[in-house]
Amino acid sequence: MASIRTARGNRPLTRPLIRTVTTTVTAALTLALTTVLGPAPAATAVPSPTPGELTPHAVESTYVSGVSSGGYLADQLHVAHSAVFEGAGIFSAGAYDCAQGSVNTALYACMDTYMPRKTPAQLERLTRERAAAGRVDPVANLAGDRVWLFHGGNDRTVDRPVNDDLATYHRDFGADVAYDTSSAAGHAWVSPLGKVACASTASPYINTCGTDPEQAMLTHLFGAPVNPATTAPLDGTLVRFDQNRHVPGGNAAAVSMGKDGFAYVPEACAAGSCRLMVALHGCQQTYGQIGDTFMAQAHLNEYADTNRMIVLYPQATTSLDNPRGCWNWWGYGGDTHYADKGGKQVSAIMSMVRQLGG
C-alpha cells in the first residue's frame, strides 16, 4: 500500500498499488470515502432473504435516500427523474454532478476542497441545460420537493462546504430543505441501530448518536409525523431478486452492480397502497462486503412496518475501477451519462422502481 498525506490535519490517504494510473486514482477516491477496520459482525434483525422477483404494488409516492456515494446517486436519481421522486434524504454528499466526470475533481473538490469546484449556481445552470435537452426531467418538478440533509461535525470525508452546496442547490430550485448539522457524527449513516461510536468513521459506517435521524427524515419527506418504528420482529418479507434483469445489457457486473438486489415488503403492503423508499448504501457497505448489515441497521424497515412503506435496497459491487463498491457519481466505467437518465445505474434502479409500481 502506498501512502500520501493530505494538507488538512496531516491526515493519511492510502492507495492500493494497482497497475494503471486511472485505477490508482480511482482507488484513492474510493478509499478516501472509507476507512478499513475489518469486517463487521453479521446483523440478524432483518428477515432472511426470500428468492423472488419484484412485483407491482399500489405505490402512492416514491422517495430516495442514501449515504456518501449513495447520497450522490440519490441526488442524481431525484434530479434526473423528479417526475417520479417526491423527495430525497441524503447523508453526507454534495450537489448534483459535482464531480463533472473527473475522478480528481471528485476526490479533491467534492470530498476534500483543495481544488475549485462548480458553484451551486453553475450546477443549477447545467441542470437547466440538461432538462432542456431531455437528459433530466424539467427542473420545475424540484420546486416544493422535500429534501432532508445530514452532515456530522466529525465528518472529515466529505467537507461541510460540499454538503452546504447541496442544500443551496435545492433551495435555489425552490425545494423544502431540512438540513441537520447538529450531530457530532463521523462519516456514516446514523441510526439508533448502528454499532459504531458516533464520532467515528469506521466500518460498517452505521453510527449511533443517541438520536433517530430516520424519524426526522421520514417526517420531513412525508410532510407529516410518522408512526413510531416497530420494536417487534419485522413482519415483512425481504425479497432477493436478480439485478441483471434490470441493468441495460443484462449484465449487472459490467456496471459495478451486484447480481442480487433486495426489497423489504411489509405485510401491510401485500394489499393496498404503500410508499416506496429507495435506500442506497455507501462505499464498502454492499451485501458482498458486509452482508445484510446495512439493511438491518439502517432503521428503515422498522418504520416500513408501521408506515406502509416498501424499502428497495439496490446493490453496487466491487470492480477493477471501483474497488470499494461505491455507486457511480464520477463516471467510472466510461459511463458519461452517469448523472442523467442515460446513466446505466440510474436506468437499472429506475427499472426496479417501475417494476414495484413507483
pLDDT at 29: 43
In angstroms, rounded to a whole number, what is the distance separating the alpha carbons of residues 9 and 221?
36
- Do the Cβ atoms of 185 and 202 come closer than 8 Å? no
pLDDT digits (tens, 9 = 90+) for 107-124: 999 999 999 999 999 999
pLDDT of amino acid 43: 39
CA distances from 37 to 29, 120, 227, 284, 317 (A): 18, 35, 36, 11, 19
Q: Of the residues 75, 112, 137, 155, which is catalytic?
A: 155
Among 65, 62, 127, 79, CA closest to 100: 127
* Segments of the chain with pLDDT less than 50: 1-44
Residue 68 annotated as catalytic: yes
Q: Are 78 and 57 in contact (CB under 8 A)?
A: no
Q: Identify which of 248, 244, 246 has the alpha carbon closest to the alpha carbon of residue 356.
A: 246
3-state class of 266 per DSSP?
coil
Closest to 65 (Cα-Cα) out of 252, 292, 304: 304
Of 78, 151, 187, 281, the active-site residue reads 187
- For residue range 258-301, list pLDDT tens digits in order: 999 999 999 999 888 999 999 999 999 999 999 999 999 999 99
**DSSP result, 197-230:** ETT---TT-EEE-SS-HHHHHHHHHHTSPPPPPP
Catalytic residue selected from 57, 61, 65, 68: 68
Q: Give the whole-angstrom CA distance, residue 244 versus residue 252.
A: 5
155 counts as catalytic: yes
pLDDT of residue 53: 97
